[in-house]
Structure 1
Amino acid sequence: MVNTHSAPLPCSADGLAQNLIAHYVSYDEAGRLEATIRGRLEATRVRELISRYLPPTPCAIADIGGAAGAHAVWMQGLGHTVDLIDPMAHHVEQARRAGVPAVVGDARDLPWKTGTFDAALLAGPLYHLIDPHNRHMALREAARVTRPGGVVVAVGLNRHANLIGAALAGQLMQRQRIVHDIEQAGWSTANDRWSAQTYYHTVGELHDELTEAGIQVADIHGVAGIGGWLAVVTDRYGLDDEEGHMLRTALLAARMSDHYPELVHTSAGLLAVGRVGGQR
């Protein structure tokens, strides 16, 4: 493992790194998963899916781009050991205060030795790396620090999420250029929803990127499936969910969607799982 009090690695000088800094300085990532029905649904589903594939307790896990440690704390609670890395210093401090060993660093250049971990989780880096070479570097690094036969879990955003979301919100006419850009190229310079540049994968592209990094893909899941859109509508229009009915319904829809592979394409979030070195 690494020294949790080591000096922060410098952020790269490219525009993407500066863009990420500007976004996460002003955005409360630490509270995101608890602040909305959509966030709570995402957290529940990501953890359900991860649980299917993690090696037996205890195992060593790298949480790459793990922000303030929400998933890391949960994995520690299962009895695993977790080391977290994130490019934002305040995220790392939040993770450390939560009891997670954490360092500032870059997913494309991990500080850990080859084969250190039984599993690696990338729940954030891929959708902030616009350049495919950078995504390849991040996945190769995750595969490098994971032992042969170990599990790599990578989260991506669905290429078609903006088309579905803009249509549901009645904003497709206003956002038509952005939706078109993303459908064609995976991202848009005109995207005004997030200050950080964001990349959106197709299911096939996410599969191919893991394969090219030496990770044999076992499955690609839709994180929230069609249930995610119920959560989006509930949050957007402030629908009353004091009884938790909407969240339970969204969760049921997400779980049911997972039984039908063709519905993966309807999910805003994608979760790919594979093994390093092709071992099953």
Structure 2
Amino acid sequence: MLISTSRTTGEAHIDQAAAIDGCTAELGDARTLGAADDSYGVVLVLGPLYHLLTRQERLQALAGARRVTRPGGLVAAAAISRCASLFEHTATTWLGTTPRVRDAVEGILRTGVHEAGRKGFTAAYFHTADQFAEEMTAAGLANTTVYGIEGPSWGALKATEQHTKTQLDPEGPLFTSALEAARLAEPYPELLAAASHMLAIAQA
């Protein structure tokens, strides 16, 4: 299995992998993978698409993942949802109280791009579900399915923790309800936008 992640987390992951017997890891570039064609049964692209701001770069990374995956193998890629920042900053109340956050969120919704340094976050790209699926297909991947990771109720959990200053019990009723909402929402693509992150699974 090949895991393609962002540079910051990648360096930490390499150190952790080095301590595991039988595991090898190297720091590279998701747009120009050094692995040979058809090398892996599964490739995970967890992080690079967050920070590749142009369609061309994202397609390079996805096409590279397809190239190094054996025919019929799986490619799983993660993306940030276009609406994630909207829901997050509703929960924090920054959306209604901090004009620079409001402007940044408006820009993300309109263009998908978060410029480096705005509202304390790095440069990032935020996908729509349809666009995410289309980019997977355009990179040569087949049978793509996109899932919403957190489900539509994650903002309610964040707001509750934010404003009560307490960590919710993962076995408690609100957490249980949010998990059930995520399960119920999974078959309905129109609800993917409500998740904070999305995961696309496809075949090489």
Interval containing the TM-score (normalised by the shorter chain): 0.7 to 0.9
- Which residue pairs with 1:193 in the alignment? 120
SS at match of 2:73: strand
Question: How many aligned positions are there?
Answer: 197
- Which residue pairs with 1:124 in the alignment? 47
Matches within 5 A, 1:221-240: 221-237=147-163, 238-240=165-167
1:243 shift after superposition: 6.6
- Which residue pairs with 2:94 in the alignment? 171
Work out which structure has the larger RCO, using CA pairs closer than 8 Å and 6 or more positions apart in sequence: 2
- Which residue pairs with 1:97 in the alignment? 19
Distance 2:29 2:105 in 1: 29
One-letter identity of the residue aligned with 1:64: S
- Picking from 52, 67, 70, the partner of 1:144 is 67
Deviations 1:26-66 (A, max 9, x none): xxxxxxxxxxxxxxxxxxxxxxxxxxxxxxxxxxx211117
- Picking from 190, 197, 203, the partner of 1:269 is 197
Please say if 1:257 is aligned against 2:185: yes
1:149 shift after superposition: 1.5
SS at match of 1:172: helix
The percentage of aligned residue pairs carrying the same residue is: 29
- Which residue pairs with 1:41 in the alignment? none
Distance 2:6 2:171 in 1: 28
- Which residue pairs with 1:184 in the alignment? 110
- Which residue pairs with 1:209 in the alignment? 135
1:199 shift after superposition: 0.8
TM-score by length of 1: 0.64
Unmatched tracts of structure 2, length 5 or more = none
TM-score by length of 2: 0.86
Distance 2:4 2:197 in 1: 17
One-letter identity of the residue aligned with 1:241: L
Distance 2:180 2:20 in 1: 30
Unmatched tracts of structure 1, length 5 or more = 1-60, 68-85
Alpha-carbon contact 1:187-1:200 (below 8 Å) kept: yes
Alpha-carbon contact 2:161-2:167 (below 8 Å) kept: no
Matches within 5 A, 1:35-54: none
Deviations 1:47-90 (A, max 9, x none): xxxxxxxxxxxxxx2111178xxxxxxxxxxxxxxxxxx88433
- Which residue pairs with 1:19 in the alignment? none
One-letter identity of the residue aligned with 2:125: Y
RMSD: 2.2
